[in-house]
Structure 1
Amino acid sequence: MPETNQDPLSQVINAVQGIYGRKDQAHDLEHALRVRAWGKQIGIQEGADLLIVELAAILHDIGRSGTLSKTHAESGAALAGGILHKCGYPEDTIEAVKAAVLSHSREGYEPETLEARILYDADKLDFVGPMGIARLFVWLGKEGKPFFGPDSCESFYRERIRHYHEHIHTQTARALFEPLFLYSENFWSELEKMRLKKG
């Protein structure tokens, strides 16, 4: 097993810093560490293997900007396996983490283990509430998307994020999701009022 420092997973965090440094700011290391914190909170309540949850959270988005022939989850699972091998984790831990990373987004793989379901839920929690709104504008703004209209920040929220609650797996995450979702709903409602306000 890796050395124990102040943070027992610091070896893995150090290994991915350079990778995340090349990602967009909505999917950077800070996002991964927030997902780790959400995942740990959910995992404690749900009785999960916290090591698997935390490792998967730290590694879940390292496959973004990977090969065009793979989804970012597929690329991330492969990269995660290599990193964990180098860090000395046992094969069963590596396979469990890879399975969670592979199924953390809606790209054709369903999360089958408790830890994978928790990673999925934790990732969605970081896309609602004030942080989720900030991430949405940073991510889509970098791609030149407008605030409103077709193919915009608003349409992404209304067509995708607004429906995340329908796919949340754990009871703990559903309870955490609700107030953040209400914050997001209110934000978009108020923004729409301001946009339509006439002088």
Structure 2
Amino acid sequence: MNAEELVAVTAQHVERLFAGEGSGHDWWHIKRVWQNALKIGAQEKADLTVVQLGALLHDIADWKFHGGDEEAGPRAAATWLREQEAPETLISDVCQIIREVSFKGAGVDTTPSTLEVQVVQDADRLDAIGAIGIGRAFAYGGFKGREMYHPHQEPLLHASFEEYKKNQGPTLNHFYEKLFLLKERLNTTAGRQLAQERHSYMQEFVRQFLLEWHGEEPAPAAFHLQAN
């Protein structure tokens, strides 16, 4: 099959797999990432076949739901693409996106190795911030049985991926441990432009959340908002 057909059949496959998923990693998340990756990739003149397949398959077997196995996603994607008789070079490029797309902790360098990884990583991170990012964060926290917020449990800036994978903190901590950091870690001009408004929206949400929680009392210093 040609590239357009491969993208179409992969989209259908992923939609079947993730329809109704309740943690915020559902088909609609994947579709939003796919569409944003396509827009950003066109502006950046990336290989749009690689970008689209990487976006569609980036969560196919996320380590968060597979015992922390970082190779579960690349394996599942490679199996699917080989079943569709995709070229090995294409499979390798797509799997590279899946390996590199994830945030792995505040202190972990996740600089992409290719333009196509940059594009999909930006599209995925854009869906983690703003109004939808807020909804997804609390959906995932509820899915994992986590508290929304605990004023005496401070955010942690994880120095390694292993530390990050073990994190069980309240959902509001996730804003400080990841979501507020993403704006400055986007790769493309288009991604950075889209991120600014979403970042500001999250800041206002957290400010209001803490105001409603603490009333006139100030929130603990660890939860002071970043200025930028």
Give the partner amino acid of 2:48: L
Q: Which range is displaced more, 81-90 or 40-49?
A: 81-90
The whole-number CA distance in structure 2 between the counterparts of 1:78 and 1:134 is 29
Which structure 1 residue ranges, 5 or more long, are not aligned?
A: none
- Tell me the residue number matched to 2:184: 166
The whole-number CA distance in structure 2 between the counterparts of 1:182 and 1:69 is 32
Displacement of 1:166 after TM fit? 2.6
- Tell me the residue number matched to 1:42: 40
Query: 1:98-117 deviations in whole A, cap 9, x for unaligned?
Result: 11111001347642010011
- Tell me the residue number matched to 1:87: 84
Q: CA RMSD in A?
A: 2.2
Query: Equivalences for 1:54-93 in 2 at 5 Å?
Result: 54-64=52-62, 67-68=66-67, 70-71=69-70, 74-93=71-90
Which structure 2 residue ranges, 5 or more long, are not aligned?
A: 154-168, 217-228
Displacement of 1:86 after TM fit? 1.4
Give the partner amino acid of 2:31: L
Query: 1:76-104 deviations in whole A, cap 9, x for unaligned?
Result: 11111111111232222111111111100
Displacement of 1:160 after TM fit? 1.3
Query: Equivalences for 1:128-139 in 2 at 5 Å?
Result: 128-139=129-140
Give the partner amino acid of 1:144: G
Whether the 8 Å contact between 2:3 and 2:49 is mirrored in structure 1 is: no
Whether the 8 Å contact between 1:62 and 1:76 is mirrored in structure 2 is: yes
Secondary structure of 2:103 counterpart: coil
The whole-number CA distance in structure 2 between the counterparts of 1:103 and 1:3 is 23
Give the partner amino acid of 1:172: A
- 179 and 113 in structure 1: CA distance in 2 versus 1, 3 angstrom threshold: same
- 171 and 197 in structure 1: CA distance in 2 versus 1, 3 angstrom threshold: same
The whole-number CA distance in structure 1 between the counterparts of 2:147 and 2:20 is 24
Query: Equivalences for 1:1-199 in 2 at 5 Å?
Result: 1-2=1-2, 9-21=7-19, 23-64=21-62, 67-68=66-67, 70-71=69-70, 74-107=71-104, 110-149=111-150, 150=153, 151-197=169-215
- 47 and 152 in structure 1: CA distance in 2 versus 1, 3 angstrom threshold: same
Secondary structure of 1:97 counterpart: helix
The percentage of counterpart residues that share the same residue type is 27
Whether the 8 Å contact between 1:2 and 1:89 is mirrored in structure 2 is: no
The whole-number CA distance in structure 2 between the counterparts of 1:4 and 1:42 is 18
Displacement of 1:183 after TM fit? 0.7
Query: 1:21-68 deviations in whole A, cap 9, x for unaligned?
Result: 485431111111110011111111111111111111110011126643
Whether the 8 Å contact between 1:2 and 1:88 is mirrored in structure 2 is: no
Displacement of 1:185 after TM fit? 0.7
The whole-number CA distance in structure 1 between the counterparts of 2:80 and 2:179 is 31
